[in-house]
Amino acid sequence: MEFTAGGRLEVRITPSDVGKRVSIRRLTGSEAEGERFTDTIGVLTSWNEGVLVITQRTGDSVHIPESSLVAAKVVPAAPARRRGPSADFEELSWVMARAWQPVESERLGGWELRAASGFTRRANSVLPLGDPGVPLDEALQRVRGWYAERGLPAYVQAATGTAGAQEGLCAELEAHGWEREVTAEVRIAPLAPLADAAAEPLADDVLVSRAVDDDWLARYQRAGRPGPHVLRVLGSGPSVWFATVPAASGPPAAIGRCVVDGRWAGFMAVEVDPARRREGLATAVMAALAQRALDEGASAAWLQVEEGNGGALALYDQMGFVPHHLYHHFRPV
């Protein structure tokens, strides 16, 4: 903590420090209770209407009234680790889910039913990280009904290649007449090398911001006519960043999105103008986002790429991403 010349603690952060790693001491008890203090370290994600939001390395967010601050300062980012990350399947699954949140959800035992007006399968499918608490026949019937009420097809997202965590569920879904519609590969990598990957001139062309804008959406292929549900999904996550490489005219030359969640940084929506491919723009976008994630204390990276996307897989091979597991979306026939 910081002290003034008189030896007293001092608040040395302002709303302009949003996005930086900070250390905060706040008052959590009254004078009658002995004036207890609590220290919090994390990324200052927002400071609005007298409330600070701090995102910790665990991904948890702490809301702190400005009036309770006793001392605060910006602190250096945690040292970046360059060795490959280890990844527990359940931990990574929840990190990925928090990075792409639905508009509405409902619990069915250990399953989470998610919906976002049909915007992407990930936000409109069941995440089965546990037992549904009812027999599988009944669970699948409830799933079909829940999505039918919303005018959506029913999907269940299940994984393979995870030491058997969900291998049995995939087989049971197929036995109940659900078929695999699409498969994606989850890959992981150490984060620090990504920040060093871009050539210097290109790195200077990347603009990074907290908010998505119309230019970014003009390049994003999946946005279509972006309604509130699209913006809500894109803006969801503990600490969200958007990158843009402007073009001389028209939509941006490249875009990307990154969500920082504790030690993890997830990369999504990295898209490049087809006429500008093989210029290093995707690498530059990811490097700029990786640097922001490093500044927030992250050390590991993850991304998802659909099976058969050879160009993207080759790029991610060069960046050091290695396969972790596959996930599949099953739909009733």
Question: Do 152 and 63 lie in a common domain?
Answer: no
Q: What is the pLDDT of residue 1?
A: 36
**Residue 156 structural domain:** 89-184
Q: What is the pLDDT of residue 168?
A: 83
Question: Do 201 and 290 lie in a common domain?
Answer: yes
Residue pair 246/161 in contact by the 8 Å Cβ criterion: no
Question: Do 52 and 99 lie in a common domain?
Answer: no
**d(C-alpha 91, C-alpha 136), whole Å:** 24
Encoded tokens for 146: 């829940």
Question: Do 107 and 64 lie in a common domain?
Answer: no
Is 315 within the bounds of a domain? no
Per-residue pLDDT tens digits of the chain, which is 333 residues long: 333 333 457 899 998 888 778 899 998 865 555 567 889 988 787 898 999 988 766 556 789 999 999 999 988 755 444 456 778 888 899 999 999 999 999 999 999 999 999 999 999 999 999 899 999 999 999 999 999 999 999 999 999 886 455 778 888 999 999 999 999 999 999 999 998 886 666 667 899 999 999 999 999 987 666 789 999 999 999 999 999 999 999 999 999 999 999 999 999 999 999 999 989 999 999 999 999 999 998 999 999 999 888 889 999 999 999 999 999 999 999
Is 82 within the bounds of a domain? no
Question: Do 145 and 116 lie in a common domain?
Answer: yes
- Give CA 156 to chain center in angstroms: 20
Q: What is the pLDDT of residue 4?
A: 38
Is 258 within the bounds of a domain? yes
Q: What is the pLDDT of residue 212?
A: 93
Q: What is the pLDDT of residue 330?
A: 96
Question: Do 102 and 68 lie in a common domain?
Answer: no
Q: Other CB atoms closer than 10 Å to residue 207's CB: what's the count? A: 16
Q: What is the pLDDT of residue 54?
A: 86
Instruction: Tell me how many domains the chain contains.
Output: 3
- Nearest partner of 55 among 257, 194, 263, judged by Cα: 263
Q: Which residues is 179 bridged to in the sheet?
A: 331
**d(C-alpha 91, C-alpha 298), whole Å:** 15
Q: What is the pLDDT of residue 86?
A: 75
**d(C-alpha 175, C-alpha 125), whole Å:** 19
Is 179 within the bounds of a domain? yes
Question: Do 54 and 109 lie in a common domain?
Answer: no
Is 67 within the bounds of a domain? yes
Question: Do 172 and 266 lie in a common domain?
Answer: no
Which of the listed residues 127, 160, 184 is the one where a domain comes to its end?
A: 184
Question: Do 244 and 174 lie in a common domain?
Answer: no
Q: Which amino acid is at 115?
A: A
- SS3 state of residue 308: coil
Residue pair 124/115 in contact by the 8 Å Cβ criterion: yes
- Nearest partner of 216 among 244, 253, 248, 237, judged by Cα: 244
CA triple 243-247-253, angle to 5 deg: 55
Q: What is the pLDDT of residue 162?
A: 66
Question: Do 149 and 200 lie in a common domain?
Answer: no
288 Rama sector, left if φ>0, alpha if ψ -120 to 50, beta otherwise: alpha
Whole-prediction pTM: 0.75
- SS3 state of residue 75: coil
Is 54 within the bounds of a domain? yes
Is 308 within the bounds of a domain? no
Taking CA atoms, 230 is separated from 22, 43, 236, 241, in Å, by 31, 25, 10, 16
The beta strands (E) that lie in the chain are given as 21-27, 37-48, 51-55, 61-65, 69-74, 104-108, 111-115, 126-128, 156-160, 178-190, 207-209, 239-245, 254-261, 264-272, 300-306, 322-332
Q: Which residues is 65 bridged to in the sheet?
A: 51
> What is the DSSP secondary-structure string of 161-208?
SSTTTTHHHHHHHHHTTEEEEEEEEEEEEESHHHHT-S-HHHHTT-EE
CATH number, domain containing residue 240: 3.40.630.30
CA triple 11-16-18, angle to 5 deg: 90
Residue 129's Cβ-count burial label (10 Å; 0-12, 13-18, 19+) is: middle
Question: Do 54 and 113 lie in a common domain?
Answer: no
CATH number, domain containing residue 46: 2.30.30.520
Encoded tokens for 217: 């959406």
Question: Do 212 and 170 lie in a common domain?
Answer: no
Q: Cα torsion at 9, 14, 19, 23 (round to 10°)?
A: 10
Q: Other CB atoms closer than 10 Å to residue 228's CB: what's the count? A: 9
